[in-house]
Every structure is written in structure tokens, then in C-alpha cells.
Amino acid sequence: MSVRLPRTILLCAAIATALIVPAAPAFAAENSAGDYCWENLDTAEVHCFGTEAELSADLAPQTFARSAATTLYTLATWYENTGYGGAYFVTRSSNSALCVSGSTTLNFSSSWNNRVSSYKTWYGCAGTIYDGTSGTGSSFGPSTAASSVGSMNDKASSFRLS
């Protein structure tokens, strides 16, 4: 009986945990259906939503419990229109000193290729946009804020944060 009792207790505890603890939400590598997006630079995961409200809800601090309560810092916001208007793409990382200690160059997700018209950066970052992938071709920047990107309007395929 002493052998069965611990196994029974463990089995009951496992069943109770499965019933009480909610399953973690699915987390796709890229969900680019929507105009309001954010990217986790640590994992390269992109999440897009149809409305600004849906994006805001997903960016709420309590949603990060799914990734071991990691705080994500907004390093840049890329806007569809000049003057920081329209839909936007948020770039986030758990490393708020990413730009102070180095830099990163990435391609925009497929839904944001050739859409950027203005941008803002934070945490010591300066942004540069490029019309080619992987930081190649014509560029605009670096700048911490650009209400207009001039001749690079709707041409950016990649960006660099430094």
C-alpha cells in the first residue's frame, strides 16, 4: 500500500494541475495577417493584428508570462505614414542596451516590406532603413526620429538599429 499511495497522490496531483493550469497560447513564428505588428528581436517571432486595439492587448505586460515573464523593451516603431501615422510595426527586445552595446540588422516581415514612411527609436537606438535586404542598397538614417524618410518612403526592405 505504501508504494501505491505515493503513485496515487502523484497521479491526482498531475490531473489536478492539468485541469487548473491553462495551456500556453500557441506562438507562431510569423503571423503577418494584419497591419499592426510587433517583432521579438530575441526570437524573430512576428505577430500581426487587424486592429491597434488587438496589438495593444497582445503587448500588455501580463501576456509575457508565456515567455518566463521576460520584459520586452520597445526599441523602435516603424510607421506606415509620414508624421508617425497609420499602421505601425513595433520592434522589441529583452535587451534594452542592445543599441548601446552593438547593433542588429534585420529584414522587415513580408507584410511590412516597402511600407515604412516614418519611425521613432528608444533606449539609445538610432534607426537606418535600407531599400535592399540585409542592410544593402540605398539608405536613410541613422536617426532617432524621422517624421519622413524622404526618397526612401515606402521602399524599406530592411533596417539597422545601432
Q: Which three cell numbers stand for residue 134?
A: 540585409
Strands 85-93 and 36-40: parallel
Written as one letter, the residue type at 116 is: V
| pLDDT the model gives residue 42 | 93
| Options 2.60.20.10, 1.10.730.10, 3.30.9.10, 1.10.132.20; CATH of 26-161 | 2.60.20.10
| pLDDT the model gives residue 44 | 92
Domain spans in the chain, listed from the N-terminal domain onward: 26-161
| pLDDT the model gives residue 8 | 41
User: Tens place of pLDDT for every residue, the chain, 162 residues?
Assistant: 444 444 443 333 333 333 222 222 233 344 557 899 999 999 999 999 999 999 999 887 644 444 555 789 999 999 999 999 999 999 999 999 999 989 999 999 999 999 999 999 999 999 999 999 999 999 999 999 999 999 999 999 999 999
DSSP state string for 82-148? TTTEEEEEEEEES-TTHHHH--EEEEPPGGGTT---EEEE-TT--EEEESSGGG-SSEEEEESEES-
Whether residue 22 has a cis bond before it, omega within 30° of 0 = no
List Cβ neighbours of 64 (8 Å cut-off, separation of 6 or more): 70, 71, 72
Distance (Å, whole) CA 117 – CA 119:
7
